[in-house]
Amino acid sequence: MNSISVAGVEIPTGHLINGHRIDSVRTLRNTSPIDGQFLGDFSSGGAGEIDLAVNAARVAFPAWRDLGPSGRGEILEKLATLIEENVETLAQIETLDNGALLRSHRKGVMPRAAANIRFFAEWAKEQLKHEPFETRGHINNVSWDPSGVAALITPWNAPLMLATWKIGPALAAGDTVILKPAEWTPLSASFFADLTMKAGMPPGVFNVVFGPGEEAGAALTKHPGISRISFTGSVPTAKIIAKAAAENLTPITLELGGKSPLIVLEDADLELAATLAIEQYDNAGQVCLSGTRLLVHEKVVDDFTRLFVDKASRINQGDPRHEETQVGPQIHPDHLARIEGFVERARKEGADIVLGGKPNEQLGGLFYQPTLVMKPNPESEIFREEVFGPVLCLQTFANDEQALAMANDTEFGLAAVVVSGRREHAAKITKNLVAGTIWVNCFFVRDLRAPFGGSKKSGIGRDGGTWSFDFYADVKNTVVAPHGWKE
Ligand code: ADP
């Protein structure tokens, strides 16, 4: 079994299939975005490894299904506790691997990964019920039956957090799982795989296959042995996955990108609005939910911009392991080049870049300066497409109707932020905003009971509470007649 030593722990670099670590001949090189440090070579799987994993998950399925919500819940609760006990290690390795802030991994992200597992285990036991109802003396019993093998494909921006957001409900629902993490961030998935074994999860219930999306991911999504595909990532990849799923009519859920609006109404607390706008640079802008289009009422735009630029120019950019750092590096040289491309093309088109606009030369490496583009052409690429970096655009509006029209004039619909000083005014705007989640005078407040997902090209389906189980389970209605009984 091959492994690497990172942050004081040994992390296997092979897949986890049927309770065994399996190394592939081919490998993928993994480096840290913080300083380019080589972290190790991870196994790079393809159709063969996927086939083994699907078979293992299918064999493990009946026993896992038959354990029921309580039996599964016991193991999942142990797993959640193990994550909690290993928050520090998980935080360290995730920061090394994807460059997001260590302090937010410690305080928010990793405890949340544990909560994702615990919440769905408890929901399956306590909340997943439907009162029987009667039809002319016949009783309808609705149940959520396990569906089989769930294929979970996750991105690099919040690797373990987004994986557990799928793993929790899939396993609690009684499905067995194959996780295909992003090729740039395999570390936390491998460490987590060890925790599933320590928690006593039977072999084959949880499997991980590492490898490129075009090989391991493609083989997984077209496999006839899987019953569900849950994907978080980009729109172009989602289209490929939807086509692969169509071949077997495998149900899919897609959580994709966004170009979310942050609307500052004329009655907004501008200090609050500027603080919320600064938060859109979190994780170096590599967050699908980010409100990257700042739509500001023309009467307050000068005051807002002054406050925003003042805060933005004081942002502490640097090593994500340092406590005072607010914005770290981008994930990968290819991704940095993509961000640079967007901003350079905008510059060539004459965009007014009032802040940042280039890599941080002092820091070098993969650091890109927090950037603000003033009033770009509303039809331009920088205002319409997801950059997935610390790049915000600002536009003004004259009235509520214009604000709403601008906010909805996008092919995405993942999230929106509305900042207003009057409840009725905010409600007037939120009523017809098209977005899966809207935050009013706040950002990123998330509750696992709430639905989460995107409208339009931001996705298909919703996660959270019973919505997750509606996807991972086969929902069944058993109608029992009042007659025909011999007892
Ligand atoms: P990004 O552009 O942010 O890297 P992707 O959507 O390409 O986002 O990647 C998200 C996840 O999808 C990763 O785990 C990646 O390996 C996987 N992936 C990429 N291409 C495919 C594909 N053709 N089939 C299945 N999964 C894929």
- Three-state secondary structure along the chain? CCEEEECCEEEECCEEECCEEECCCCEEEEECCCCCCEEEEEECCCHHHHHHHHHHHHHHHHHHHHHHHHHHHHHHHHHHHHHHHCHHHHHHHHHHHHCCCHHHHHHHHHHHHHHHHHHHHHHHHHCCCCCCEEECCEEEEEEEEECCEEEEECCCCCHHHHHHHHHHHHHHHCCEEEEECCCCCCHHHHHHHHHHHHCCCCCCCEEECCCCHHHHHHHHHCCCCCCEEEEECCHHHHHHHHHHHHHHCCCEEEECCCCCEEEECCCCCHHHHHHHHHHHHHHHHCCCCCCCEEEEECCCHHHHHHHHHHHHCCCCECCCCCCCCCECCCCCHHHHHHHHHHHHHHHHCCCEEEECCCECCCCCCCCECCEEEECCCCCCHHHHCCCCCCEEEEEEECCHHHHHHHHHCCCEECEEEEECCCHHHHHHHHHCCCCCEEEECCCCCCCCCCCECCEECCEECCECHHHHHHHHEEEEEEEECCCCCCC
Q: Which residue of the set 183, 215, 255, 266 is catalytic?
A: 255
pLDDT confidence of 213, banded at 50, 70, 90? very high
Q: Which residue's C-alpha comes closest to atom 21 of ligand 1? A: 213
Mean pLDDT score, 89-102: 98
Q: What integer pLDDT is reported at residue 371 of this predicted model?
A: 98
Q: What integer pLDDT is reported at residue 452 of this predicted model?
A: 97
pLDDT confidence of 270, banded at 50, 70, 90? very high
Mean pLDDT score, 391-404: 98
CA of 253 to the centre of ligand 1 (A): 14
Concerning whether 255 is annotated as a catalytic residue, the answer is: yes
CA of 40 to the centre of ligand 1 (A): 21
Mean pLDDT score, 359-384: 96
Mean pLDDT score, 375-382: 95
pLDDT confidence of 412, banded at 50, 70, 90? very high
Which of 3.40.605.10, 3.20.20.140, 3.40.718.10, 2.60.120.510 would CATH assign to domain 3-256+458-477? 3.40.605.10
Q: What integer pLDDT is reported at residue 378 of this predicted model?
A: 93
Give the residue extent of every domain in the chain. Answer: 3-256+458-477, 261-440
For a mutational test of ligand 1's pocket, the pick from 237, 247, 283, 388, i.e. the residue with the most ligand atoms closer than 8 A to its C-beta, is 237
Ligand 1 atom closest to Cα of residue 220: 25
Mean pLDDT score, 94-119: 98
Mean pLDDT score, 288-296: 97
Give me the percent of the chain exceeding a pLDDT of 90: 99
Residues with CB under 6 A from ligand 1: 153-155, 180, 182-183, 213-214, 217-218, 221, 233-234, 237, 240-241
Ligand 1 atom closest to Cα of residue 218: 24
The model's pLDDT over 3-40, given as tens digits with 9 standing for 90+, comes to: 999 999 999 999 999 999 999 999 999 999 999 999 99
For the chain, the average pLDDT equals 97
For a mutational test of ligand 1's pocket, the pick from 28, 98, 153, i.e. the residue with the most ligand atoms closer than 8 A to its C-beta, is 153
Mention the CATH class of domain 261-440: alpha beta
Q: Which residue's C-alpha comes closest to atom 23 of ligand 1? A: 214
The model's pLDDT over 141-194, given as tens digits with 9 standing for 90+, comes to: 999 999 999 999 999 999 999 999 999 999 999 999 999 999 999 999 999 999
CA of 380 to the centre of ligand 1 (A): 26
The model's pLDDT over 442-474, given as tens digits with 9 standing for 90+, comes to: 999 999 999 999 999 999 999 999 999 999 999
The model's pLDDT over 416-443, given as tens digits with 9 standing for 90+, comes to: 999 999 999 999 999 999 999 999 999 9
Q: What integer pLDDT is reported at residue 28 of this predicted model?
A: 97
Mean pLDDT score, 56-80: 98
